[in-house]
Every structure is written in C-alpha cells, then in structure tokens.
Amino acid sequence: MEYRLINFEKEFEELSILYKNSWCKTYIGLLPEELLESFTYDKSKEKWIHFYNNEKNSFIYVAIDKTGGNEVICGFAACKPDDEEQSRGFLYSIHIKSEYKGKGIGKNLIMKSAKHFRDQLGLTSISLRVVVGNDNAYNVYTKLGAEILKHQKMNYYKNVITPEVCLVWNDINQLLLKSN
C-alpha cells in the first residue's frame, strides 16, 4: 500500500466516486434515505473541486493499492486547518472502500495527515466530527486516543439536522506515538 498526496487533476474523479459510494453506504440508517439517494457523483465532484480550490492549506492523502499492476485509490483523508482553533488541524473527511476496511488503512491515513499537519503547517492538535451512530469510525478514533471535545448538531443538505460528536487529539505528538 502506498500513501501519498493526491494528484488532484488526475485523480479527483476516482476520489469523487469513492466518496459518493462510501458516504452513501456509511450513512444508511443514520441519514434520511432521500438525502442519500439525492447525493450524486456530480455533487461529489463539485464538493471536491470546491474543497481543493477554496480551502487554504488543505491537503488530501490517498491510499493506493498497486496489486495487479493497476493503481487504485482505496481510501483517502481530506484535511484543512480548523476554522475554530488556529493551532488545530481538521480531519474533514476520511473514507475507505468497503473491501479495504479493517486493514489499518484509516489509521495510516490519520498518521500521514497528523505528520503533515505538524511538519508542514506547524499545528499541534487535530479535530474531526463523527455522526452519532457511526460507531465503527468513533471506535477507531477513540482507540487512537481522540477525546470528546463537544456534541453538536450539523445541518446537512436539505436542512437535515444530524447530531455529531466533535473529537480531538490535543497533542499530535502523542497521536503519532501510536503509529506502530
């Protein structure tokens, strides 16, 4: 498995497809079916083009599976500085293809992102949000030492209000110690 920064111009369509499929599958039963059905590949592309072009100091790490002679994006972590805290990074989105889950790819993407936040942007902590009920993701993050920062409600598309938990790693260096 190779981990690297995305070549956005060449890979954003593959990222958009992975995101759309993973997002819709992840949130079955957590978000209204109508919302999941209305989220198209075109909306996913628009989202990532906007993120790439408008989020200052943003970056996206991808996990690349090179078996079989092809390069396939099997996961990604999209990150940016946190809007609420100047010294904190924000793990904006992380998704792994279903068939690659449970292989440590998410953890490795988090570690790559944490190192980038620390070494390239000088940030000292990381936050992220988890939709209440997304227990698999919540458990991965808390196993790596993330703590609850606050509970909040997020206004998704079409005014769908969803409860979320905001988690934080207060010390990137402590998080990176868990990389082994």
CATH of the domain at 43: 3.40.630.30
Which residue type sits at 180? N
Cα 25 → chain centroid = 15
Q: What was the pLDDT predicted at 63?
A: 98
Expressed as residue numbers, the domain containing 174 is 2-179
**How many domains are contained in the chain?**
1
What residues contact residue 82 under an 8 Å CB cut-off, 6+ apart?
88, 89, 90, 127
Do the Cβ atoms of 119 and 89 come closer than 8 Å?
no
The whole-number mean pLDDT for each consecutive block of 10 residues of the chain, a chain of 180 residues, reads: 94 94 88 85 92 94 92 96 95 96 95 98 97 93 95 79 93 91
Alpha carbons 174 and 83: distance in angstroms, whole number: 22
Tokens of 25: 């599958």
The reported pLDDT for the residue numbered 157 is 66
70 backbone dihedrals φ, ψ, rounded to 5°: -105, 160
The CA distance from 88 to 168, in Å, is 9
- Report residue 149 as tokens: 């920062």
- Side by side, which strands form the sheet with 88-96? 2-5, 59-65, 72-81, 88-96, 125-131, 160-169, 147-156
In the structure encoding, which two tokens stand for residue 133, read together? 């009920």
